[in-house]
Structure 1
């Protein structure tokens, strides 16, 4: 910390962020400008300690304090009467037992990605000005206080990846202001409270990887601002057929851009209306999307989401409105894949693997020109791979393994780049990149060999002499995904 700052009077805003400062944040920085400093930003440095005489910071005028992305350890000090506090991405291991008692004026509190344990004190219910509460990626435990769900003040509630348990209150206020609810990766049980329908502005609901039960909450479709639903890795069950009372409404889920219901117990045929309702995924692709965020008077909060993207579980720290994904994998869905899926022309990720879908791969998928990842593996799909899928020129990941497909693998455009593991477990498929040539008489279901193909060269030698011999060679090409 540069010591010459000690000799400057009446600093109002001090921003030393995004440097490589290290060591201890000195005591004098908490004392020198007690009567003038309103904003202090030391984020994205390498500080490891804070020199303090008390774990209650003394500033009387400070509105905004950002110590995020350092290496600070020990107990996190609580600022008194601050409006915005960001301690995220540090190594704090504890916090004052009744830390929420000091949040009477706080609008924005972010303690994510530390090692803090303990319970959320009841005094958080008295923090009537609190709009953003982010305690994600810590070791907090205990019950989720009902006031956090029921209250009128919170806009963002993010308790992701902690050890909270119990059930969610079903007494959500008629004046609910919640726009983001992220409870992913806890031990929450019971059903999703239907009274969440009172949160008219709800845009993100992520309750994935808990122990929640019940049938699919179709009533969520009435929330006109809902963009992200993550219900994956729970105990939901039953049909995905729209209830009769909801079948005529065309506005359900009209803004939805990400839906993840993977690894549950949903079963039965997939209602074609699913894909006929997602109006935002049908719109002509626009690569100038906006970042999903919430504005406060002191700091903006950016929403995050984690999805399976090209075979990897990826966290997007900033979510654009153009990021679109459907994940229905690891359920017991059956029947045909609806042809209506082809209308989702701006969809980037489609994962329907590990179900019991049968019939042919819809050729209409070839109309989804923005598709980057397609996973239909481990179903009961049959027939040939539609040639129309070669129109997917942005496709970077393809997995059709573990089905009953047959015929020649398409070779043009992106299909020339996919490796063997995209097709394994389909005994009837032939042609590169598989070692099995097409036209093998051992499989009568295969298409006849096309001798004019671009990727197979046949040289036939006929020798006349003592006997006759026929030599047959074929060259196969293997390419790696770039």
Structure 2
């Protein structure tokens, strides 16, 4: 079948057992969807023979095994969904350099992946790195036979949504509900066309990298239920399209950035961070003076300079007054001062 078919959609049935291993070298599959079934076992490596595969969705099954690194040989792959299975192990492999360059959607959420986030994989996502041009008419992903990429279920902005058609501009990274640890890589900030980033419910530590402020197209950012600490970077104010922000249940602290998109987020975006303060939380910041805005810093500098000038003038006047008092006290009459005053008065009288 796979030597002639380009599109197989078996989703949302009651199929069980293991996937066949006989995807031959003449495989012409471009779209393969077997999600929402009860398929077990490992993902057959013979799928690597389907060199034209653009979409692979095996989500919501009972598959197991480590991350299928052999998928790096599929140079046309654009959508990879492994979510809600029993995959495990590390994803960060050095031998994936130069692969996954056309990947636009990767969803490996709700598995048992562990280790550090795959920095090398993120560096290879050139399709997401490129800045998408805004187009008047919507353009949807499709394969060479004219079948649209459809029926995909993704978690977007906190809700699981089924897409009837998927836009070519829709870029998603969902690594949530795993056991990833370490810090969030700064290289994520290079994925300029990313729309959805979900790293929630892991064991990530360290600060939120300020480079995420470069994700100018981002609409949904979920970093909740981790062990992140430090302040919320003010660079996130640059995310003009951000509609959903979830930073809850971390160890973040300090003043929440103000203005722009941050004025639209509610308490739910920040609950579980006991050391955060400022709007929209009811907790005020006792250390606001330690984190002033740029305008506040300028005002403070002006006030300091003004007070310093007054202090200098006061000091000079005090020294001069004491000196004159000393002269008067010791000489009895300040004749030198009287002469200067008389000369000035005579000049004024002549005028």
TM-score higher than 0.5: yes
Q: Which has the higher helix share?
A: 2
Do 2:140 and 2:167's aligned partners in 1 also have CA atoms closer than 8 Å?
Answer: yes
Report what 2:123 is aligned to: 276
Q: 1:419 aligns with which of 266, 277, 283?
A: 266
Q: 2:34 aligns with which of 183, 195, 201?
A: 183
- Higher RCO, Cα 8 Å, sep 6+: 2
Displacement of 1:191 in angstroms is 0.5
Do 1:336 and 1:359's aligned partners in 2 also have CA atoms closer than 8 Å?
Answer: yes
Could you give the per-residue CA deviations for residues 303-341 of structure 1, whole angstroms, max 9, x where no partner exists? 212211111111111112111000000000000000000
**Cα distance 1:450–1:200, how it changes in 2: closer, same or farther (>3 A)?**
closer
- Taking only aligned residues, the RMSD between alpha carbons, in angstroms, comes to 1.7
Report what 2:140 is aligned to: 291
Displacement of 1:449 in angstroms is 7.1
Report what 1:94 is aligned to: none
Displacement of 1:438 in angstroms is 0.3
**Cα distance 1:336–1:447, how it changes in 2: closer, same or farther (>3 A)?**
farther
Displacement of 1:268 in angstroms is 1.0
**Cα distance 1:430–1:193, how it changes in 2: closer, same or farther (>3 A)?**
same
Could you give the per-residue CA deviations for residues 442-477 of structure 1, whole angstroms, max 9, x where no partner exists? xxxx87475987xxxxxxxxxxxxxxxxxxxxxxxx
Q: Which deviates the most, 203-212 or 267-276? A: 267-276
Q: Which has the higher strand share?
A: 1
Report what 2:149 is aligned to: 303
Report what 1:38 is aligned to: none
Distance (Å, rounded) in 1 between the aligned partners of 2:185 and 2:57? 26
**Cα distance 1:184–1:448, how it changes in 2: closer, same or farther (>3 A)?**
same
Counterpart secondary structure, 1:284:
coil
Structure 1 unmatched ranges of 5 or more:
1-147, 441-445, 454-482
Distance (Å, rounded) in 1 between the aligned partners of 2:6 and 2:118? 33
Distance (Å, rounded) in 1 between the aligned partners of 2:153 and 2:107? 10
**Structure 1 segment 43-442 matched on structure 2, within 5 A:** 148=1, 151-242=2-93, 244=94, 246-247=95-96, 249-250=97-98, 252-288=99-135, 290-294=139-143, 296=145, 300-304=146-150, 305-439=152-286
Determine which structure has more spread, i.e. the larger CA radius of gyration: 2
Distance (Å, rounded) in 1 between the aligned partners of 2:220 and 2:289? 27
How many residue pairs match? The answer is 292
Structure 2 unmatched ranges of 5 or more:
297-351
Distance (Å, rounded) in 2 between the aligned partners of 1:154 and 1:199? 11
Do 2:192 and 2:216's aligned partners in 1 also have CA atoms closer than 8 Å?
Answer: yes
Displacement of 1:302 in angstroms is 1.6
**Cα distance 1:447–1:216, how it changes in 2: closer, same or farther (>3 A)?**
farther
Distance (Å, rounded) in 2 between the aligned partners of 1:319 and 1:290? 9
**Cα distance 1:272–1:354, how it changes in 2: closer, same or farther (>3 A)?**
same
Distance (Å, rounded) in 2 between the aligned partners of 1:160 and 1:319? 17
Counterpart secondary structure, 2:147:
strand
Distance (Å, rounded) in 1 between the aligned partners of 2:175 and 2:235? 23
Displacement of 1:301 in angstroms is 2.4
Do 1:439 and 1:449's aligned partners in 2 also have CA atoms closer than 8 Å?
Answer: no
Do 1:152 and 1:175's aligned partners in 2 also have CA atoms closer than 8 Å?
Answer: yes
